[in-house]
Amino acid sequence: MARKYFGTDGIRGRTNEAPMTAATAMKVGQAAGAHFMRGDHRHRVVIGKDTRLSGYMMESALVAGFTSVGMDVVLVGPMPTPAVAMLTRSMRADIGVMISASHNPFYDNGIKLFGPDGYKLSDADEDAIEALLDAEPLLVASDAIGRARRVEDARGRYIHAAKSTFPDKLTLDGLRIVIDCANGAAYQVAPAALWELGAEVIPLGVSPDGININDKCGSTDPAALVAKVVETRADIGIALDGDADRLIVVDDKGNVVDGDQLMALIGVSWARKGLLRGGGIVATVMSNLGLERFLGGHGLALHRAAVGDRYVLEAMRSQGFNVGGEQSGHIILSDHATTGDGLVAALQVLAELVESGRPAHELLRQFDPLPQLLKNVRFKGGAPLEQDGVKQAIAAAEARLNGTGRILIRKSGTEPLIRVMAEGEDEALVAEVVDSICEAVKAAA
């Protein structure tokens, strides 16, 4: 059954346009609240948000929805997505909500839901809530309406939890770290955690104004971070995205380090210390073939999942892995968190940096990636991948690679984009086949 509201990561869209309206948010609160009303205890929901302008509107609408079906609301304000997941579990809440469109521009927003265990909802739960969204809400009597209150120490709770994942015997004393918080949800907690561990912190992207989230900053646009690391001669740079569930690193020479290299570092390190479970790590079909070869050289496996951190996590949980993630920087360390956590992943990288005594440009280059190119083609509607011209272009491109590489074409689950990726031994050939497919998609779209 086609979904009207939920996508690959909750509900997302341009604010004040369907489905991302205040009216929809109130319905989500009513539907999700009704779905999780189980038992006769006083029910509770934790709601966090990032810093985009529409967050206040969506927060108020969700509060109205949840309280109208009898659920109490705990508001924690701007907080990373993993912090909301952690607080949902630690506060024994029935459900958690993060209001964020992650790395998208300010004019988009989204609603991510977590169950009482701190994990993102299953497809079955989302389908059940979807079915309730257009039904008449189950409003409670006036004396059973829920109450809402703000928790002022939520930031401190998350900082403590994040710091507890860093080895007790280590400190960040002597390290100069540039941290780019994308003017997003971690603008207070991430610099504070690094400072409390002893680092000299140089903050970027910590002045949110409602519209500058992810704007020329953060993990999707690290140019400013690169410049600041070089300018200040920092030991390392850390970039988070708008809701701080992904991480990109810049080494001391100004080189950008993606999630594949970070997963390689953490995976091999944990294996060496006897901490790695599953005999390898989980990544997605987008991860570089070089990562797979590198892990194989260390006797470790790479299990590939569909794109999306929820699918990575599903594979981790079902097959017993405790390290997984995406090339884009979603890194899930299930010993410490129930979802991707950019700050926690960064602390694992920093621990390796301290223990090794090596400069970041040496430590973080774990393997030589194969030439890989990803391009996005925006489309207005329809199904361009089903057009004969696109199918013929893909077949021709695969024939040109002739087994020396691979092609991956997929439709984005969060934006109207077709993502075209190829990798192989010949960089020029990779660029040619990607361009040929992109042109075919543009013609079909």
Q: Which domain CATH number covers 420? A: 3.30.310.50
341 is in an annotated binding site: no
Same domain, 218 and 301: no
Number of domains observed in the structure of the chain: 4
Q: Could you tell me which residue, 410 or 356, shows the higher pLDDT?
A: 356
CA distance 412 to 430: 21
**CB half-sphere exposure, 64, CA atoms < 13 A:** 12
Domain assignment present for 166: no
Where does the pLDDT of residue 328 fall: very low under 50, low under 70, confident under 90, or very high at 90 and above?
very high
**Closest C-alpha among 239, 290, 237, 235 to residue 264:** 290
The pairing of beta strand 236-240 with beta strand 148-150: unpaired
Final residue of a domain: which of 255, 282, 303? 255
pLDDT at 84 over 70: yes
Domain assignment present for 74: yes
Same domain, 212 and 277: no
Same domain, 288 and 359: yes
64-75 pLDDT, tens per residue?
A: 999 999 999 999
What's the confidence (pLDDT) of residue 365?
Answer: 96
127-139 pLDDT, tens per residue?
A: 999 999 999 999 9
Instruction: Judge contact between 378 and 419, C-beta under 8 A.
Output: no
Same domain, 65 and 130: yes
pLDDT at 115 over 70: yes
What's the confidence (pLDDT) of residue 310?
Answer: 87
Same domain, 19 and 141: yes
pLDDT at 117 over 70: yes
Final residue of a domain: which of 255, 280, 299? 255
Domain assignment present for 161: no
pLDDT at 2 over 80: no
Domain assignment present for 78: yes
Domain assignment present for 69: yes
Final residue of a domain: which of 255, 284, 304? 255
243 is in an annotated binding site: yes
Residue with tokens 């994308």: 182
Instruction: Judge contact between 133 and 111, C-beta under 8 A.
Output: no
Domain assignment present for 433: yes
Handedness of CA 66, 70, 76, 77 (dihedral sign): positive
Where does the pLDDT of residue 444 fall: very low under 50, low under 70, confident under 90, or very high at 90 and above?
confident
Residue 299 backbone zone (phi > 0: left; psi -120 to 50: alpha; other: beta): left
CA distance 249 to 426: 27
- Those residues whose C-beta lies under 8 Å from the C-beta of residue 141, and which sit 6 or more positions away, are none
Same domain, 326 and 397: no
Domain assignment present for 223: yes
193-211 pLDDT, tens per residue?
A: 999 999 999 999 999 999 9
Same domain, 97 and 28: yes
What's the confidence (pLDDT) of residue 1?
Answer: 53
pTM score, whole prediction? 0.90
Domain assignment present for 135: yes
Same domain, 242 and 269: no
Same domain, 141 and 18: yes
259-272 vs 342-356: helix crossing angle, rounded to 10: 60
What's the confidence (pLDDT) of residue 92?
Answer: 96
The catalytic residue among 54, 68, 100, 102 is: 102
CA distance 262 to 284: 14
What is the mean pLDDT of the segment spanning 173-185?
A: 98
Q: Could you tell me which residue, 259 or 7, shows the higher pLDDT?
A: 259
Does residue 224 sit in helix, strand or coil? helix
Domain with 376 in it: 372-444
Q: What is the gyration radius of the CA atoms in the chain, in angstroms?
A: 22
Same domain, 324 and 380: no
245 is in an annotated binding site: yes
pLDDT at 290 over 60: yes
Same domain, 17 and 138: yes
Same domain, 377 and 267: no
Tell me what percent of the residues of the chain surpass a pLDDT of 70.
99
Handedness of CA 375, 380, 386, 387 (dihedral sign): negative
* CATH assignment at residue 324: 3.40.120.10
Q: Is 102 a catalytic residue?
A: yes
Q: Could you tell me which residue, 298 or 412, shows the higher pLDDT?
A: 298
**CB half-sphere exposure, 170, CA atoms < 13 A:** 20
- Those residues whose C-beta lies under 8 Å from the C-beta of residue 300, and which sit 6 or more positions away, are 267, 268, 271, 276, 279, 280, 281
Instruction: Compute the C-alpha angle 239/245/251, nearest 5°.
Output: 25
